[in-house]
Structure 1
Amino acid sequence: MNFSLLFVHSTWVSVALAVALPSGIAIFFPNAASAATPPKPQNSSSPVQVPDYLNPNPNPLQFPTKPEEVRIQRNVPISLAQALELAKRNNRDLQVAILELERSRSSLRESQAALFPTLAINSSLINSGNGFTSNSSQASTSFNGSAQLNYGLYTSGNRQAAIRAAEEQLRVDELNVESTSLEVDLNVTTEYYDLQQADEEVRINRSAVENAQASLRDTQAREQAGVGTRFDVLQAQVNLANAQQLLTNAISNQQIARRRLATRLSLAQSVNITAADPVQLAGLWQPTLEETILRAFQNRPELQQQLAQRNIGEQRRRQALSQLGPQISLAANYNLLDRYDDGVSITDGYSVGLEGNVTLFDGGAARASAAQSRANIAIAESEFGSQRDLIRFDVEQYYSQLQSNLNNVQSSTVALNQAREALNLARLRFQAGVGTQTEVISAENDLTRAEGNRIAAILDYNRALANLQRSVTSRASR
């Protein structure tokens, strides 16, 4: 059903058009401060200094075609702070999240455009006659112009719901930038610890090879002196071969860890990195388990995202139902007509009126769309509960790992000192002729294992601490 109220006036003189909105009708202009400014992942004033040659080519479509373009030319030691700074600048996932945020911001501006009237101007210049072979009449030239102004006075809540849905989507993408940034920081931190562990495994296995080589020299010297046996030499040779194999595997793992972190940081094609920070405890966690869980519930952006998704569903439901309500708009038109050389002055006119329509029957489309939105609301509420439970489990898991790894650091430090003392005693006993080569080899293996256990305990503690910090901390609270 359509209805309209139209006022028309035509005159032979120019008319100035003025439109006044009815009382009680107001135009709400968007508040620029209502949308929260997203966190900027790149901080130009950061005190962390990063060499420029580590940054990738600014062209994202770069496609190397020559071997020298991808050949590693240098290994650069970097700290964890530098790695995190590089990730903020160059990580592709974070860049995509920022672009999605910019897209949502533009979508919000598109929705807010409905708060303003639309104005269009049309004009034409026409020359007409009876034909090229006829002289019965003279050709004439005319100019026609018009201006139209339209504004939706009442949309049954459709316009407000669309704007609020766009604002909630912007909030979702702001939180997504925050969540992605935190996830990138966690991944970089974890992979940096992986690289540290790979470096330490190379060092430990290289030390094991050196110890095995020293034992082999001792057994060969004893065999030549007639106080050793061929069996001892063979044992030492097998132990050396095993240690060399472990070193080879450790070097391979080190290269993989370097390239994995370099890929995460989107480094330049021709550089590789090594860990510059020493292996040590990253810090201590003071809050209790219960305090940690509450902090996680308060700060995790994932929970806020689910609430925003629920709000989007509610606004979409209102938009759908608004299609069944009345739609009233203001329409104004101004026309101008001038036929040249006809002895008549310019003709113009204007019209101002209200137009309205109500959809009496749409086949149930609007209510079906509203039902879909209600289902999306229920899904968001269910996802909120699942995310809350998962956050609690993450906190409890990493908190338990943190405590156990701290105990492992203490016990592995004691075991390392004992393994060193045992190896010294085994060598002294062997050199004095009261011990065996088997004891020395066993003591060397125990020392290698103890060193590896201590490094693993420290880095496992650091990983658990990084995960716990990620579980309870948002960028806004740092």
Structure 2
Amino acid sequence: MQPYNSLIALGVSAVFAVSLVKIDPAQAESAPNLPVRTEAQESPTPSEVRQQRLAERRSVQAAPAVPETSSPAPARPRAQAQPAPPSPAAAPSESAPLPKPGQPSTGQETGQEANPAPAPAAPVPSAPTPAPTPAPPLVVPTEPLAPAPSAAPSETAPLPSTGQETPTLPSSPAAPSNRRNANRAPENLNPSPNPLNFPTTPEEVTVVESQPITLQQAIELAIRNSPTLQQTRLELTQSRDALREVRAANFPTLDATSSLTGSAQEGLEADNAQGVATGTSSRDITTSLNLQTGLQADYNIFTSGRRSSAIRAAEGTVRFRELAVEVETKQLVLDVSTSYYDLQEADQQVEIFQAALSEALQSLRDAQALERAGVGTRFDVLQAEVDAANARQDLTQQLSSQEVARRTLAQRLSLAQATDITAADEVAAAGSWALSLEQSIVTAFKNRAELEQQLVQRDIGEQRRRNALGQLGPQIGATATYGIANLLSSSNESSEFSTEGKGFFNNASVALNASINLFDGGAARAQARQQEANIAIAESQFVNARDQIRFQVEQAYSILQASSENIQTTTLAVQSAEEALRLARLRFQAGVGTQTDVIQQQTALTRSRVNNLGAILDYNRSLAQLQRFVSNLPDGNLSETP
């Protein structure tokens, strides 16, 4: 009886060990090198040892059918893996960990702790690695996602995908010239070189191609083709020529003259016969030919400050025009950046409302399916139809706004008539701002060209005032002349006397001239008072520009800070709205929710996506405004005074 009981106990223990191996593969994998023991095997007999080895061989044969998983550390609690079917296409259980994006699924976790159990005599062969399971459509991260320029749009991003590939870094750095050529704007976007050319047929204005461009390429095209900037540059060239004209007063003027004069004179002469008058007269004709050549030099020695003040005023005008070119260039960059961000916003809103229309149509199909199944109502279908119609109307309006944004940017860039452009850059935060508000204000005061323009305008008014008062002072000048003359011929018919040229005769003179304006009716002083008023106007405009610059910096800085916080907030709101819409649709399909809940969550998701898009683009706009409002210097150098 005792051996029979021992045999029954041994069989029960073996079956229990085999059942442990088959039912709990996680424990079999976590400790594959340890033999399975029970309390009844504390003192095994030889027959029990044979049965135990038989159970081990059975466990070894059953091990390859179980997918190999990672052996977790004893201190890390995790859900035990459920037995998977042998088919590789079977979906994993809900407790199985999801593969990370960009990481191959090897079936083993990174950083797992080694199993301290000793190796068995016969090691268990590893099972083949199953195929990687695709990630679910919604992955909620544990931390807020910060937008990055190089991040590719994914299903977890708050914005819908733009369909553009993620730029990859080159394996080896290219030459600077190659990078510049790669980033240059396409030449086919340039307008006609003839500024007076305009289309005369519909074919000439028909858009035949759409070219995607980056923000830097758009800025390059604007600086190259802007007619307003070209006009400002021409005004600068004009002022430089005016400066050369005024500086010419520092040098004397030299004039050369030459004349060839022929004359004939007719007169009457009384006839005398041996000293006695006969009472008759004869006609007398005298002709001559005279050549004269001369040089004259004039120089204003003293002008009572008029010459120097006119030169300084012209130099100030040149400086004013240079600053105007700088201001126009930086303002053009800001306008192009704003228009480019507007186009990005229009493109993304089109995708957002396309997604909203897709969600509305899906809700309509669900409502119609439930109505056909007899568990839905006609009211739910009508609500879904109204929501789909509204979404379609919103999409149509956004498509119109997208076209307007494209043509607005094309107008700023002065593109060719038959070309259109699209935004190639992805929607992401453009960068960061390192200066504080106080540092930004002080830097703007030091580097804004508008403040220096008013100071230059004030100096121009002062120089013109001195020029006007100089009219009342003495004016001293010198004149030097040198000439040669030659009487080529002279003849008289009555006396039959004639002479030929006998050579040149020289003449020279030097004169010193002085003049003073004793009375001009008050014209000079009236001109001086006009310039004094211009000086006061420039000072008033300086104060106005200073206050405006501070307000611009403070406003842009405040929007930048608020937009930076809103990016994080709206990113989480988009993720929550996506999950809420998914749950609302599942509840409605299960019959425990209403169509109104789905429509409300669709509206909330669309609003969250629009808010997130607006936060990112408001951040980029305010950053571009700060870069424009703080400094106009392209190289970023700072000066101590305006």
Same-fold call, TM > 0.5? yes
Q: Which has the higher contact order (CA 8 A, sep 6+)?
A: 1
Aligned-partner SS, 1:340: strand
Residue of structure 2 equivalent to 1:103: 238
Aligned ranges for residues 29-428 of structure 1 at < 5 Å?
Answer: 47=181, 48-130=183-265, 136-137=284-285, 139-341=287-489, 342-343=499-500, 344-428=502-586
Greater alpha carbon shift after TM alignment, 371-380 vs 121-130: 121-130
Greater alpha carbon shift after TM alignment, 207-216 vs 254-263: 207-216
How many angstroms apart in 1 are the aligned matches of 2:388 and 2:257? 90
Aligned-partner SS, 1:279: coil
Give 5+ residue unaligned stretches, structure 1.
1-42
**2:612 is equivalent to residue 458 of structure 1:** no
Aligned-partner SS, 1:170: helix
Q: What is the CA deviation profile of residues 202-256 of structure 1, one whole-angstrom value per residue up to 9, with x for unaligned ones?
A: 0101111111111111111111121211111111111111001000000000000
Give the residue type in structure 2 aligned to 1:123: S
The sequence identity of aligned pairs, in percent, is 54
Residue of structure 1 equivalent to 2:629: 471
Give the residue type in structure 1 aligned to 2:241: S
Greater alpha carbon shift after TM alignment, 333-342 vs 313-322: 333-342
How many angstroms apart in 2 are the aligned matches of 1:420 and 1:441? 13
How many angstroms apart in 2 are the aligned matches of 1:110 and 1:355? 24
How many angstroms apart in 2 are the aligned matches of 1:252 and 1:295? 41
Residue of structure 2 equivalent to 1:31: none
Q: Sort the Cα spacing of 1:222 and 1:459 in 2 relative to 1 into closer, same or farther, 3 A.
A: same
Aligned-partner SS, 1:129: strand
Residue of structure 2 equivalent to 1:3: none
How many angstroms apart in 2 are the aligned matches of 1:429 and 1:164? 81
- 1:58 CA drift (Å): 0.8
How many angstroms apart in 2 are the aligned matches of 1:135 and 1:119? 46
How many angstroms apart in 2 are the aligned matches of 1:423 and 1:105? 66
Q: Sort the Cα spacing of 1:135 and 1:199 in 2 relative to 1 into closer, same or farther, 3 A.
A: farther
Aligned-partner SS, 2:257: strand
Residue 607 of structure 2: which of 442, 449, 462 is its match?
449
How many angstroms apart in 1 are the aligned matches of 2:198 and 2:258? 50
Q: What is the CA deviation profile of residues 178-202 of structure 1, one whole-angstrom value per residue up to 9, with x for unaligned ones?
A: 0110000000001100000000110
Give the residue type in structure 2 aligned to 1:193: Y
Give the residue type in structure 2 aligned to 1:124: S
Q: What is the CA deviation profile of residues 384-405 of structure 1, one whole-angstrom value per residue up to 9, with x for unaligned ones?
A: 1111111111111111111111
Residue of structure 1 equivalent to 2:161: none
Structure richer in helix, relative to its length? 1
How many angstroms apart in 1 are the aligned matches of 2:361 and 2:553? 47
Asked if the contact 1:208/1:243 (under 8 Å) is kept, the reply is yes
How many angstroms apart in 2 are the aligned matches of 1:356 and 1:397? 61
How many angstroms apart in 2 are the aligned matches of 1:397 and 1:459? 16
RMSD over aligned Cα atoms: 1.6
Give the residue type in structure 2 aligned to 1:289: L
- 1:136 CA drift (Å): 4.6
Q: Sort the Cα spacing of 1:294 and 1:246 in 2 relative to 1 into closer, same or farther, 3 A.
A: same
Aligned-partner SS, 2:401: helix
- 1:477 CA drift (Å): 4.1
How many angstroms apart in 1 are the aligned matches of 2:611 and 2:290? 94
How many angstroms apart in 1 are the aligned matches of 2:210 and 2:386? 34
Q: What is the CA deviation profile of residues 126-176 of structure 1, one whole-angstrom value per residue up to 9, with x for unaligned ones?
A: 333358xx9953643221222111011111110000000000110000000
Q: What is the CA deviation profile of residues 75-99 of structure 1, one whole-angstrom value per residue up to 9, with x for unaligned ones?
A: 1111001001111101111111111
How many angstroms apart in 2 are the aligned matches of 1:345 and 1:382? 71
Give 5+ residue unaligned stretches, structure 2.
1-176, 267-281, 490-498, 637-642
Residue of structure 1 equivalent to 2:60: none
Instruction: Choose 1 or 2 for highest CA Rg.
Output: 2
How many angstroms apart in 1 are the aligned matches of 2:442 and 2:633? 17
Q: What is the CA deviation profile of residues 27-78 of structure 1, one whole-angstrom value per residue up to 9, with x for unaligned ones?
A: xxxxxxxxxxxxxxxx9x9553111110011111112111111111111111
Give the residue type in structure 2 aligned to 1:80: L
Asked if the contact 1:299/1:477 (under 8 Å) is kept, the reply is no
How many angstroms apart in 1 are the aligned matches of 2:226 and 2:350? 28
